[in-house]
Chains A and B, each alone.
Chain A
Amino acid sequence: MKITILNGENKNDAGRFTDYITEISTLLKASHEVVDFTLNEMSLNYCTGCWTCWWKTPGLCVIKDDAEQIFRSVINSDLVIFASPLHAGFTSSTLKKITDRLIVLIHPYVQIRNNENHHQKRYDKYPDFGLILDLESDTDENDIRIISDIYDRFAINFHSEKKFLKIKDQHSKEEILDEIINN
């Protein structure tokens, strides 16, 4: 299985989450093809909503930075892992920055799915994804539900399925590895 890990720990975070994700990634590499992106070490810019990727150079992002290797890896993977410490009740801005840019992988045309308007596929196949989160001291069940629901919505537009949501200090590494491998 080909797995892409998008690690969204912010640059000014302590780095412990990145150490943890690196351990998970190393364990996975024993049996799978894993590409592990530490986003805060890369040159990445915010999506500007220019829509060049939808109507000028279809499928290609006009921003010249390190995002292209992420686009290639994501669309050619079987599973993507969105990994992030929570900040202000959501996954980090570092992760959201690249998530916004993923619209380059879908088509501007809209179609009706689930009785709603959603974008059509650009590619034949999209990876499913899972979440690995590290909680804030005040994270509650409601926060987790809000995040989970938003990623389920994202899954519809991304022609994908959210397979799991795991929490760093609540699930053991073995449990998380098992979840990843059996999806």
Chain B
Amino acid sequence: MKLLIINGSPRGKNSNSTLLSEKFVDGFMSINNHSVDIANIAIKSTRDNIHSQIKECDSIILIFPLYTDCMPGIVMEFFENVHVSAVLKNKPLGFIVHSGFPESKQSTFVEKYLDKLSLRLECKYIGTVIKAGSEGLKIMAPFMTKKIFNQFYMLGKVFAESEAFDSRINLGLRKPYQISAFKLSIIKLLSKTGLTNFYWNMNLKKNNAMHLRDAQPYC
């Protein structure tokens, strides 16, 4: 199988989408006789040439981060183009959506859109994988990312064997759908200490911008 992974992250190569798809590709390539291409549509020339890449592959996975509760603008531009050209007709197409927010519920609204889009494009819909809590993957200690990376490795391996997303792995990745009441109460307590915003504060301090964090420049 010749797989095309379309990376829909506006951060392109330097993105959490890249990080997750690399693990998927490791699993996918562990099975013989497969090949994979990766297209970063953050790059305009890649966006412009994507149709020929789609025509040449057997199967497509589009991975993108949740942007304002939906797909990023560049991904919407891609959807408009493939809708007009009908290039995805009868092509196997799957999606991976990930969000910085820790609950997968937030990505289930765009999933409904993707379900419907697949009908519209008349593609062979493989399904949608959702992974929440993806921000900061790059700086997390290996013990924190090990499970997620393993899940993506296995997802890729099963995909190479079956051209499908393993439903059990997908269900696992979707946890938690919502944060439990118990954990929410802990988060509320921690937020008083500032600990919940550790990641933001670390970066604000690194940039000497902590004192400006509440700025309202456009008011």
With CB as the reference atom, state the residue of chain B lying closest to A101.
B73
* Chain A proximity of B196: nearest CB distance (Å): 7
Q: Which residues of chain B come closer than 8 Å to A124, judged between CB atoms?
A: 216
* Chain A proximity of B133: nearest CB distance (Å): 10
Q: Which residues of chain B come closer than 8 Å to A103, judged between CB atoms?
A: 68
Q: Which residues of chain B come closer than 8 Å to A104, judged between CB atoms?
A: 218
* Chain B residues with a Cβ under 8 A of chain A: 9-11, 15, 42, 65, 67-74, 76-77, 79-80, 82-83, 101-103, 105-106, 109-110, 112-113, 116-117, 120-121, 178-179, 181, 184, 187-188, 191, 196-197, 200, 203-204, 206-207, 209, 212-219
Bitwise, A105-131 to B at CB < 8 A (1) or not (0) is: 101111110011110001110000000
Using a Cβ cutoff of 8 Å, how many contacts connect chains A and B? 161
Q: How far is the CA of A117 from the CA of B179 in the complex (A)?
A: 9
With CB as the reference atom, state the residue of chain A lying closest to B133.
A117
* Chain A residues with a Cβ under 8 A of chain B: 10, 46-51, 54-60, 68, 71-72, 75-76, 87-90, 92-93, 96-97, 99-100, 102-105, 107-112, 115-118, 122-124, 138, 142-143, 146-147, 149-150, 153-154, 157
Q: Which residues of chain A come closer than 8 Å to B82, judged between CB atoms?
A: 88
Q: How far is the CA of A68 from the CA of B217 in the complex (A)?
A: 10
Q: Which residues of chain B come closer than 8 Å to A149, judged between CB atoms?
A: 109, 112
Among the listed A54, A59, A107, which residue makes an inter-chain contact with B217, where contact means beta carbons less than 8 Å apart? Answer: A59
Q: Which residues of chain A come closer than 8 Å to B102, judged between CB atoms?
A: 117
Contact B101 A116 (CB under 8 A): yes
Q: Which residues of chain A come closer than 8 Å to B215, judged between CB atoms?
A: 58-60, 122
Q: Which residues of chain B come closer than 8 Å to A87, judged between CB atoms?
A: 76, 79-80, 83
